[in-house]
Amino acid sequence: MNETVRLLQAHHSSRKYKTDPISAEVLDAIIECARRAPTSTNSHEISLVIVRNADNRARIAEIAGGQPWIAQAPVFIAVVVDLYKTGLGVEKAGAEQVFQRSLEGIMAAVSDAGIAMATLMTAARAFGLGTVPIGGIRRDPQAMIDLLELPRNTFPVDGVVLGYVAEESPQKPRMPIESYRHEEKYHSEALKPAIDAYDQTLEAFWQKIGRTDGLSWSANMAQHYGTISRLIKSVAQKQGFTIEV
């Protein structure tokens, strides 16, 4: 199998890290991969904030809801939607930036942040590092904005932990391919059987690794997708992101 394909198919999050530093050469190469990733209309609307200071990483671990691996690993990279940067370009051209006030603008920016995250993780794994994506920084986005001193028209979408793994975690099983791959049109009839099967598979996985708090996929979705967080909206609006069109 192609090595890149093997690497991608072997993806799993690692949550126990050594304190060994990542060399400047390796970190620079990983960041350069993300910088080369595509952005909508060549906007370069993503910036990365590299956090190596131990106190700052410990603070991010708190902001993310108590995730100790953020403090353990030597590097945390925040992926920031950066329409402050694009605004400077628009201003230089003699116009006013309004893109951050549209749904299209927000969707394009978040999509580009996801591409950057995926690129960072793949590059890091290619160097033998462990990774875990962190969406928990959105639990308190204002605290992240303050910590990273982010200007208006920016938003910390997510982040990623990088480090050398002290203990590998097993790869979590995924939902059946029928729930993911649709030929020619969307096949809704395949979903309920796939969800039933995945609930059973995931519950068996939790039992196998001794996770007594592990939930079925359905129960996990009910816990997270059955509520709405209004905090992100208020902070995003304060930063300049609104949906007017």
Give tens-digit pLDDT for 230-241. Answer: 789 999 999 999
- Predicted pLDDT of residue 161: 98
pLDDT bin (cut points 50, 70, 90) of residue 198 is: very high
pLDDT of residue 228 exceeding 90, the answer is: no
Q: How many domains does the chain have?
A: 2
Q: What's the gap between Cα 231 and its chain centre?
A: 18
Same domain, residue pair 106 and 205? no
Residues 146 and 205 in one domain: no
Average predicted confidence (pLDDT) for the chain = 96
The reported pLDDT for the residue numbered 245 is 80
What is the token pair recorded at 231?
């905090």
Residue 191 pLDDT: 97
Q: Which domain holds residue 203?
A: 172-214
What is the arithmetic mean of pLDDT over 181-201?
97
Residues 144 and 85 in one domain: yes
Residue 11 shares a structural domain with residue 25: yes
* CB 152, CB 240: distance < 8 Å: yes
* CA-wise closest residue to 7 among 114, 117, 129, 165: 129
220 within domain boundaries = no
β-bridge pairing 154-163 and 130-134: antiparallel
Question: Cα angle at 53 between 47 and 58, to 5 degrees?
Answer: 100
Q: pTM, whole model, 2 decimals?
A: 0.95
